[in-house]
A and B are shown apart, each in its own frame.
Chain A
Amino acid sequence: MAYVKVKRRKLTFAERTYVAPIAKGMVTTLKHMLQLGGTERVTMEYPEQKWKLPDRYRGAPVLVKDAAGREKCVSCSMCEYVCPPRAISIIPGEIDGPVEKAPKVFDIDMLRCIFCGYCEEVCPEEAIFMSEEYELCGQTRAEMVFPKDKLYAMGEKFGRDGRTKDPVKKYDRLVSEAAAQGLDLTK
């Protein structure tokens, strides 16, 4: 296609001094500075100022402990099974007491996680929750694989405002029921 030469309009003298356009721009700036009508602020002073999250926001999955400080997770691996991007990897381990089992390794690869919430949905022990944590960053890939301790620390912070729902005392009930029947399950 042949090119068309566009003819530029010749600027007037007033325009060539740029005084009037600058003044016009300054008025707009001033209006925002003084927050006059129709100019409320839409930007946020992040990271000093944080976003108010909706109630059902799904941030990073975290692990929580029960009211007595015991690990709720029994490494049943349902979350590992259901996880669509296979972000979770668990190696179960044996512990003392009536529960018998807890994760030896519980890693979530936050680079893989798609924050779908299936893990929270499927967990039979209510041990994993979608937190409000969205600031996930690191320098290396390895750093972005969150180990068990880190997930519990995140859960601690997250659990403070009562978001991990009920303080499950399932195993206290088990032990007291058994004790009433003359059986010590804590051994």
Chain B
Amino acid sequence: MPKLTIDGKTMEVPKGATVIQAARAAGIEIPHYCWHPGLSVAGNCRICLVEVEGMPTLQIACNLLCADNMVVRTQSEKAKGGRADVMELLLINHPLDCPICDQAGECKLQEYSFRIGKDRSSFDFPKVHKPKHVRFSDKVMFDAERCILCTRCVRFCAEVAKRDELDIVNRGDRNEIAVKRGGELENDYQMNVIDVCPVGALTSMDFRFKSRVWFLENAKSVCSGCSRGCNVTVGSRWNRVLRVIPRENPHVNQWWMCDAGRFTYKGNDADTRLGAPMIRKNGALAECSWDEALDAAAKGLRDAGADLLALVSGRLTNEEMWLAKDVLAHLGTPHRDVKPRAFAKDDFLRTGDGNPNSRGAALLGIAPGTGGSGLTSLGSRAFRGAALFGEDLDDRPEALEALSKCGFVLVVGSHETETSRRAAHVVLPGVTPFEKDGTYVNVSGRVQRLARSVIAPGEAWPDWKILGALRARLTGAPAPRTPADAFAEMCAASPAFSGLPWNGLGEHGADARTPEPAGAAR
């Protein structure tokens, strides 16, 4: 365990740690471009220069192993001067087209130039020009002029995505990044190169020129694409979600997320969004007030009673599942199920389970009860009523056919679907995971907070509010006023969540209480 001093702070670090890691752990920031905590050390940008006592020249902190009795100075005149010179060299051929560049506002080059750089260049010659809009794929755009050749993207593809697709071509000041053999980026995690790029060389085709980043309202949330539950930052403006980018969580996704997860926001402001509750009158759905719709829904549920089939979506939050389960317990029906949803599977982040909260459903017991039937029995058995909480059967035509023959069908959902059009007697407009607060349990049992980033259209209610109101009508139990109320109620009653604090879940979540069942997929 080497013991060293950085800027007067003495610390003991594990053997093999580098100076930049030690400084970071101690809260001392050393500027860096090519170094990334999740990637190997390249040591090519030279911006992390520090002065080390007893060494004749400045050293790069990212590739310097900590040694006993080492004395490091990050803020000495010599170190600062060295970094300012490196900044100037990095900017020699940089186009400085910040007004056009999408990275502006979250660009390390801007930040360090402002903080540690010089205010002018001593380089008098024309800059080297390189191609400005090279499509690496239909998701990633490359600008060779802005690139500082830190090779983070090259290393990401080779080390994390395990597809060695990028490389540096040409020589000297004509160096640029290129896709190997002139192809396109193909790996399913390629958009992470946009996030690791410290400058504006790699930008998103999807987010391209949509908004400047400083206008975005950022919500720290969880991806609803699959049961991994990658931590994300959702950027929105004009009450529209504009991008989803990964957020660091060492317990779940480290720094990464898959490309499919970034596009989960598509359709959030589709024309098919439901904005008002509806009741079927004379064969056609007609808009009505919430009271009217809730009364009709409660009556329909009560009439169906123990012969009600309930589909609870694996996209609902724990609180909503808990409220749904409470409603079903009161009706006395054992027929409850979660519709499985397929998703791509690989040995990195994607789990193959498209329900973000299937683990929560398992912990809360959303599965056919004793003597109960599930989704597969629809068609072979007639039910008096059916309730679809956040779910649809558009992808299962036979089940939908059987559903439309039920005496009463309640559909709670965010979008208009074939199911709501054909089968529903009462439609209650819910919201998408971008429009509500709540918690999800990921595949490895981590309880994580979902945060609202935009406001739902029209008169749509968050599903927890709908379920709370339904429960109040059926049982007289008070409706929770906030998702935190529902969470507290759930934690008090359900051993898997006992004692978990709503506000104490923090940015990284907390593990659910029950030990993981043997053989569960990680």
Contact = CB atoms under 8 A, between A and B. Distances in A.
B129 A81 contact: no
A100 B132 contact: yes
14 contacts: A78-B99, A92-B210, A93-B209, A94-B208, A94-B209, A98-B132, A99-B100, A100-B133, A101-B209, A177-B126, A181-B129, A183-B129, A185-B131, A185-B132
A77 B127 contact: no
Please classify how large the interface on chain A is, using the bins under 10, 10 to 19, 20 to 34, 35 or more.
20 to 34
B390 to A, nearest CB: 33
Contacts of A185: 129, 131-132
Given A92-B209, A94-B208, A101 B100 contact: yes
Contacts of B104: 76
Contacts of B214: 81
B99 A124 contact: yes
Interface string B118-147: 000000001111111100000000000000
Interface string A147-187: 00000000000000000000000000010011011010100
Interface residues of B, number: 19
B455 to A, nearest CB: 19
B215 interface: yes
Interface of A: 74-78, 80-81, 92-94, 98-101, 124-125, 174, 177-178, 180-181, 183, 185
B488 to A, nearest CB: 40
A77 B102 CA distance: 11
A180 B211 CA distance: 34
A9 to B, nearest CB: 73
Most chain B C-beta atoms within 10 Å of own C-beta, residue among A94, A125, A174: A174
Contact of A77 (B128, B129, B208, B215): B215
A74 B100 contact: yes
Most chain A C-beta atoms within 10 Å of own C-beta, residue among B104, B126, B129, B130: B129
Contacts of A93: 209
A77 B212 CA distance: 7
B209 A76 contact: no
Nearest to B128: A181
Interface in B209-228: 209-212, 214-215
B99 A125 contact: yes
A180 B209 CA distance: 29
Nearest to B208: A94
Contacts of B129: 174, 177-178, 181, 183, 185
A185 B134 CA distance: 11
A43 to B, nearest CB: 47
Contacts of A74: 99-100
Interface string B187-217: 0000000000000000000001111101100
A89 B104 CA distance: 19
Interface string B132-171: 1100000000000000000000000000000000000000
Contacts of B133: 100
A180 B126 contact: yes
A81 B212 contact: yes
Most chain B C-beta atoms within 10 Å of own C-beta, residue among A80, A93, A178, A180: A178
Contacts of A92: 209-211
A124 B110 CA distance: 15
Contact of A177 (B100, B127, B131): B127
A178 B99 CA distance: 20
Contacts of B132: 98, 100, 185
Nearest to A179: B129
B209 A81 contact: no
B131 A183 contact: yes
A183 B215 contact: no
A55 B77 CA distance: 47
A185 B132 CA distance: 7
Contacts of B99: 74, 76, 78, 124-125
A181 B214 CA distance: 36
B190 to A, nearest CB: 21
A100 B100 contact: yes
A178 B126 CA distance: 9
Top 7 closest pairs, chain A to chain B, by CB: A76-B99, A178-B129, A92-B209, A77-B212, A177-B126, A101-B100, A124-B99
Nearest to A125: B99
Most chain A C-beta atoms within 10 Å of own C-beta, residue among B100, B126, B128: B100
B213 to A, nearest CB: 10
Contacts of B128: 181
A183 B130 contact: yes
A119 to B, nearest CB: 14
Contacts of A174: 129
Contacts of B211: 77, 92
Contacts of B210: 92
